A and B are shown apart, each in its own frame.
Chain A
Amino acid sequence: MGTYILRRVLYSIPVLIAASMLIFFFVSAVGDPLAQVRAIPKVSQETIHHIIVRKHLDKPLIVQYGYWVENAVLHRFGTTLLGDNPIWPDLRLALSNTLQLVIVSEVVAVIFAILVGVYSAVRQYSAFDYAATTFSFVGFSTPVFWLALILQVLVTNIFLAYGIRIFYTSGFSTPGVTGLLPSILDRLQHLALPVITLAFVSIAQYSRYLRASMLEVINSDYVRTARAKGLLTRQVVMKHALRNALIPFATVVALDFGAYFGGVIVTESVFSIPGMGLYFIRALNAADLYPIMAWLIVTAVMVILFNLIADILYGILDPRIRYD
C-alpha cells in the first residue's frame, strides 16, 4: 500500500509539470501582459519599463517560464504584476475559505445522499422513492444562483418580519466577533445558506448515483447469501450492500471535491464569500496574469491531489485492487 501511494505521488509530478507548462504558455499566449497597464494614462513609461525588467518580460518565453517556476516554488508565486504585492497571502485565505465551504457542504451532501439513496433503493418504487426521484429532478434543474437568491430573500424576510437573524445572507464573518465559540457560531451562520445551496444540488446528484449502485448490489448473489445467513436487514443493507455500493460512489465524490476547489464561483459571488471563485473573478478584472496563473496552479494541484485520493480510497475500499 505504501509503495502504491508513493508511486502514485511520483506519477503526479510529471502531470503537475505538464499542467504548469500548459498554464504558463497558454496564459502568456493571450497577448501582451501589460496591455491594460499601458492603457492607464497615469502609469509612466518608466514604471512600465521597471515592471518589464522586474518580471523579465523582455526575455524569451521559455526563460520567463523558468523565472516564473522559480518564483512559484521558492517565493510562493511571487508578486502581482502591477502593485508588486505578494500573491500567496490572499490566495491562501481564499483557499481556506473555499475549503471550509466545500468540506462542510460535501459532508452534508454525502450524509443526506447516503440516507436518501439507500432508502430509495431498499424501497424501490415506493412513495418515498418517487418523492426522492422528483426531488432529484428539481435539484438537477435548479439554477444555483436562483436557489441562492431565493434563500437570501427568505432569510431576509424572516429577519424583517420577526427581527430574528437565523443566518447571514452574505460575507463570511462578522467583524468584531471574538472568542472561540462565538466565532464558530458566527461562521456557521454565515456558512449555512451557501452550504444549503451547494448541498441541495449535490444531494440530488449523489443520491441518484448511490441509489443506482445500491440497486445493482442489492440483487446480487452475495447480498442474498447475507440474508440466507440470517443477518438482520439492517446488517444486510448497511454492511453487505452499502459497503460495495460505496466503492464507485467514493470515487465520484472524491473527484468532485477536487473540482470544487477551483471555487464554486456562482455561490461565492451571490453570498460574497471571499473564496477561490471570487479571487479568480477579481484577478480577471484586474487583468493581472500572475494571480490568475497562481490560481490555475492551485486548482490543478487540487484536482491532481483528489484524483490521487480517489485512487487510494478505491484501493482501500476494494480489496480486489492490486498494488503491484
Chain B
Amino acid sequence: MPEPVLSLRDLTVEFHTDDGIVHAVDHVSYDVYPGETLGVVGESGSGKSVTVMSLLGLVPQGRIMSGQALFKGRDLLKLPDKELRRIRGKEVAMVFQDPMTSLNPVFKIGDQIAEALQAHDPGLSEDDARTRAIELLDLVGVPQAPRRAEQYPHEFSGGMRQRAMIAMAIANQPSLLIADEPTTALDVTIQAQILEVLRAAQREMKAATILITHDLGLIAEMADRVVVMYAGHVVETADVGTIFHAPRHPYTLGLMGSLPQVGRDDEWLRPIPGQPPSLINVPPGCPFHPRCALSEGRIECRTRLPELAPVDGEYHLSACHFKHELRERSEELLRHMEGIA
C-alpha cells in the first residue's frame, strides 16, 4: 500500500467535566490512504467524531493528552493555531451531520461558499469567488445555481443544504474529506442522492474520505476499509468485505448480527445485550467485556486491555484477546446473543 494521507497514532482526548474525566478517545490509531473511503463506525459516544474533530482543533473543550496525527508529513497536533487554520477547509474539509444548523442562517449560501474560497485565497476577487461558488453549487447538483446562490439557508431544503455543505467542503479541493454522519439527518430518498453527490465529489477531487457513521448500510455501500470503534477505542479494522463477512472482534460480530437481513425471517431485531459503558468509568481490561459473549468471564478480559493486533494479514487488526476463537465460534455466539436478547 502507498503512504497514508493521514496517520493517527495513540490519539487520546479527554474532557474534564464536573462529574469526572471523560475518556472520549483512548489511544486511537488508524491510517487513511490516498483515494480511499475509510468508514468509521460505532455507537453514539464511541469517540468516532471527536477523534477527527480534535485533529482540526474543532473540539475546544477537549484536551488532547497524547498522540500523533501525521498529515502529509506534518503532525497536526503540534501545529500552531495559525498553520492549522490554513489546513482546515483547504487540505482537510468537513461535512457535518446536520445541514439544518450547520449553515449560518443570516448569510447567503453563495457568500458562505465564496467565503470558504477566499479564506484560503485572499487574492481572489469577490466576483471570481461568487462565480466559482455558483460552479460548485452546480457541480453538487443544486438546480438554478446562480439564483440559489443568492438565497439564504432557510430557503433551502435539507438535502439542498447538505449539497451546499458538500460544495463548501470541496471548494478548495481538499486531499482529505471528512464526512461526519452526512446523511443521518436526511430522508432516505435524499440520502441516496447525497451519497451520489459525495461519491461524485470524491471522484472529482480524488480525495481520501473518512466517512463517520453508525449506519452499516452506508458503510457497505461507500467504504473501502472500516474502522470499528467502541468506548473510545479502535476494536477492529479491516477492508469492508472482511468486516461484514469475517469479523474477528465480538463487538463487530454483534453489530453485524444486529443488522436485519432481507430473506431471513426474523420476528425480533437482535441487539447487542447491555449498554455501552460510561466514558467516565470505563471498565478495567477490555471495555467491551461486560457485554461480550465470547469473554465468558475470563480473567484476561477483565484485567488486561487487549492490543490492536493483526489477525490474518497485516491490514486486518482486532483488539480481542481471543480473536482467533471467533473463526469457529461466530455462529454459535450469534445464536447465543439471540437467546439473551
In the bound assembly, the distance between CA atoms of A231 and B116 in angstroms comes to: 8
Q: Is the CB of A318 within 8 A of B87?
A: no
Of B58, B101, B104, B107, the contact of A228 (CB 8 Å cutoff): B58
B89 neighbours in A (Cβ, 8 Å): 228-231
Instruction: State which of B56, B81, B103, B119 has its C-beta within 8 Å of the C-beta of A231.
Output: B119
Q: What A residues does B96 contact at CB under 8 A?
A: 221, 224-225, 228
Interface of A is mostly: helix
Neighbouring B residues of A230 by C-beta, 8 Å: 85-90, 116, 119-120
Nearest CB in chain A to that of B155: its residue: A319
Mask for B74-91, Cβ within 8 A of A = 1, else 0?
A: 000000010001111110
Give the total of A residues in contact with B, Cβ under 8 Å. Answer: 23
Quick one: which of A269-304 are within 8 Å of B by CB?
none
**Can you list, as one digit per residue, whether each of B59-87 has a CB less than 8 Å from chain A (1) or not (0)?**
00000000000000000000001000111
On chain B, the residues within 8 Å of A228 by CB distance are 56, 58, 88-89, 93-94, 96
Q: Which residues of A contact B165 (CB under 8 A)?
A: 225
B239 at the interface (CB under 8 A from A): no
What is the CA–CA distance of A226 and B106 in the complex, to the nearest angstrom?
13
User: Is A222 engaged at the interface, CB distance under 8 Å to the other chain?
Assistant: yes
- Complex CA distance for A246 and B279, rounded to whole angstroms: 37
User: Are B101 and A222 in contact, with the CB atoms below 8 A?
Assistant: yes
Cβ–Cβ < 8 Å partners of A222 in chain B? 101-105
How many of B's residues come within 8 Å of A, CB to CB?
29
Distance between Cα atoms of A33 and B263 in the complex (Å): 93
B98 in contact with A221 (CB, 8 Å): yes
* B99 and chain A: residue at smallest CB distance: A221
B101, A319: Cβ atoms closer than 8 Å: no
A247 and B89 alpha carbons, distance in the complex (Å):
28
A244 and B90 contacting across the interface, CB-CB below 8 Å? no
Give A194 to B166 CA distance when docked, in angstroms.
Answer: 54
Residue on A nearest B57 in the bound complex, by CB: A227
B138 in the interface, Cβ–Cβ < 8 Å? Answer: no
Closest to B89 in A: A230
Q: Nearest residue in A to B98 (C-beta to C-beta)? A: A221
Across the two chains, which residue of chain A brings its CB closest to B82? A232
A 209-243 contacts with B by CB, 8 A: 220-233, 235, 240, 243
Q: Roughly how many angstroms separate A229 CA and B117 CA in the complex, as a whole number?
A: 9
Nearest CB on A from B94, distance (A): 5
A227 CA to B56 CA in the complex, in Å? Answer: 9
Q: CB < 8 Å: which of B86, B90, B104, B120 contacts A240?
A: B104
Cα(A55)–Cα(B191), bound, Å: 77
- A sample of 16 inter-chain contacts (CB < 8 A) reads A221-B102, A226-B104, A227-B88, A228-B88, A228-B93, A229-B88, A229-B115, A229-B116, A229-B168, A230-B116, A231-B85, A231-B89, A240-B104, A243-B107, A319-B154, A320-B154
For the complex of A and B, list the 9 residue pairs with the smallest distance between their C-beta atoms, beginning with the closest. A230-B89, A229-B89, A221-B101, A230-B88, A222-B104, A319-B152, A221-B102, A229-B116, A228-B94
B: which residues have CB within 8 A of A?
56-58, 81, 85-90, 93-94, 96, 98, 101-107, 115-116, 119-120, 152, 154, 165, 168
